Amino acid sequence: MTEEQAQSQTQQTASTDAPEIANPFLLGRKVGMLQHFRPDGTVVGATIISAEPNVVTFVRTRERDGYTAVQIGYGAIAERRMTRPALGHLKGLSPLRELREIRLDDVSGFERGQQIGVGRFAAGDKVHITGVSKGKGFQGPVHLHHFKTGPKTHGSDHYKRQGSVGAGTTPGRVLKGMRMARKMGVDRVTVKNLEILRSDADRGVLIVKGAIPGARNAIVLVRKA
Amino acid sequence: MNNRDILASIAAEQVKTGLPDVRPGDTVRVAVRVVEGNRERTQSFEGTIMRVRNGGLDRQITVRRISNGVGVERTFLMHSPRVEKIEIVRRGHARRAALYFLRERVGKAATLREKRKTT
């Protein structure tokens, strides 16, 4: 399918669709990466995100909750995998794997059960993508903070170690926030201003330029920039 | 659809059909679209295939030729829209997958025996 066709699909709006807003959002799943040939023949790395239509599961209002937000759900899951309270929350809707709240100043028009699909995004749009980065385990200061390494040879025992962590008697302690070894990764990461290369509503697939956080099958939130 | 199927179906839309079965050692003529300023024209590059990297959509060939006494190697993505045509000129006999030894050879020593017709 060409990019124009993808664009025309964003025009279709079914009756159950959530209202159009300036900065649509969508939960999806990272599928993997491919090369993408642009019409002018240049090649770019592209990430494929699969997103079946998201369902509005709850609307938070100022009167009831003190703030306004829309809760959306994504991902089919077997009913037996759900807990009873979770099923009760989704009564009348199909079971969903992932729920996420998006803070919005104006939630008028949003109602439980409405859908949001990839059609909200068109080729050429810029998006922010938020996900959880891959875990790297317990990492030393060199990998984690890009500290300089010590000498490799001449009897050095200081190759991947950290240097001094502070002065002596004054202050007599290690300052808080000193960068040291720790567990790395599994952080919430947002990559901004990625270009949508293609939006395929038939298959529920978005193709974005560049890499996005997380492993394959990770849940990511796509928001229009 | 699982991940592999989704990727395969998206890749399939960009894959070209009817590409020749190229192998290392073959001499090929590649027609490439080049953009010069605001004009576009087709340039052909003829040489020996040194290496074929297979990867479905990412399939690429490295072609070597001697141009004005200088060895030139170009890598083409076979499925790129800029590669208009790949034509096999001659089938060469090669016993290895990557013919890097051609780099150390010049003149006739850098030619490969023609492949015998298989019956």
In a 13 Å sphere around the CA of B103, the CA atoms on its Cβ side amount to 9
* B114 belongs to a structural domain: no
CB-CB under 8 Å, A39 with B77:
no
Q: CB under 8 Å, gap of 24 or more: what pairs does A91-100 form?
A: A93/A55, A93/A57, A94/A55, A96/A55, A96/A57, A97/A73, A98/A27, A98/A73, A98/A74, A98/A219, A99/A57, A99/A71, A99/A72, A99/A73, A100/A27, A100/A71, A100/A72, A100/A73, A100/A74, A100/A221
* B102 belongs to a structural domain: yes
- CATH at residue A212: 2.40.30.10
Domain that holds residue B43: 23-107
Whether A215 and A118 map to the same domain: the answer is: yes
pLDDT tier at B69, thresholds 50, 70, 90 = confident
Q: What is the pLDDT along chain A (225 residues), one digit of tens a residue?
A: 454 444 444 444 444 788 888 889 999 999 999 999 998 888 999 999 999 899 999 999 999 999 999 999 999 999 999 999 999 999 989 999 999 999 999 998 899 999 999 999 999 999 999 999 999 999 999 999 999 999 999 999 999 999 999 999 999 999 999 999 999 999 999 999 999 999 998 889 999 999 999 999 999 999 998
Mean pLDDT of chain B: 88
Whether A144 and A110 map to the same domain: the answer is: no
* B115 belongs to a structural domain: no
Q: Distance between CA B10 and CA A1 in Å, rounded?
A: 10
Whether A68 and A149 map to the same domain: the answer is: no
* B9 belongs to a structural domain: no
Whether A64 and A105 map to the same domain: the answer is: yes
Which of A29, A35, A40, A199 is the best substitution to test chain B (most B C-beta atoms within 10 A)? Answer: A35
Residue B117 is predicted with a pLDDT of: 67
Backbone angles phi, psi at A69, to 5 degrees: -165, 165
Whether A86 and A169 map to the same domain: the answer is: no
Mean pLDDT of the B45-73 span: 91
- The chain A residue lying nearest B3, using CA atoms, is A31
Mean pLDDT of the B14-39 span: 90
> Do B62 and B48 form a contact (C-beta atoms < 8 A)?
no
Whether A109 and A192 map to the same domain: the answer is: yes
Cα A85–A110–A222 angle (5° rounding)?
80
Collapsing DSSP to helix, strand or coil, A24 comes out as coil
Residue A21 is predicted with a pLDDT of: 87
- CATH at residue B88: 2.30.30.790
Residues of B in contact with A215 (CB under 8 A): none
Of A32, A35, A207, the CB nearest to B57: A35
Whether A160 and A51 map to the same domain: the answer is: no
Backbone angles phi, psi at A42, to 5 degrees: -75, 155
Residue B107 is predicted with a pLDDT of: 80
- The chain A residue lying nearest B15, using CA atoms, is A37
Residue B45 has pLDDT above 70, yes or no: yes
Q: Distance between CA A110 and CA A127 in Å, rounded?
A: 22
Residue A181 corresponds to which tokens in the numbers above? Answer: 């070894």
Residue A113 corresponds to which tokens in the numbers above? Answer: 């059960």
Whether A14 and A121 map to the same domain: the answer is: yes
Count up the domains in chain A and report the number.
2
- Which residue is associated with the tokens 């010069």? B36
Q: Which residues contact A39 (CB under 8 A, 6 or more apart)?
A: A3, B81
Residue B106 corresponds to which tokens in the numbers above? Answer: 């010049």
- The chain A residue lying nearest B84, using CA atoms, is A41
Collapsing DSSP to helix, strand or coil, A64 comes out as helix
Count up the domains in chain B and report the number.
1
Whether A155 and A116 map to the same domain: the answer is: no
Whether A127 and A180 map to the same domain: the answer is: no
ipTM: 0.79
Whether A115 and A156 map to the same domain: the answer is: no
Domain that holds residue A152: 136-184
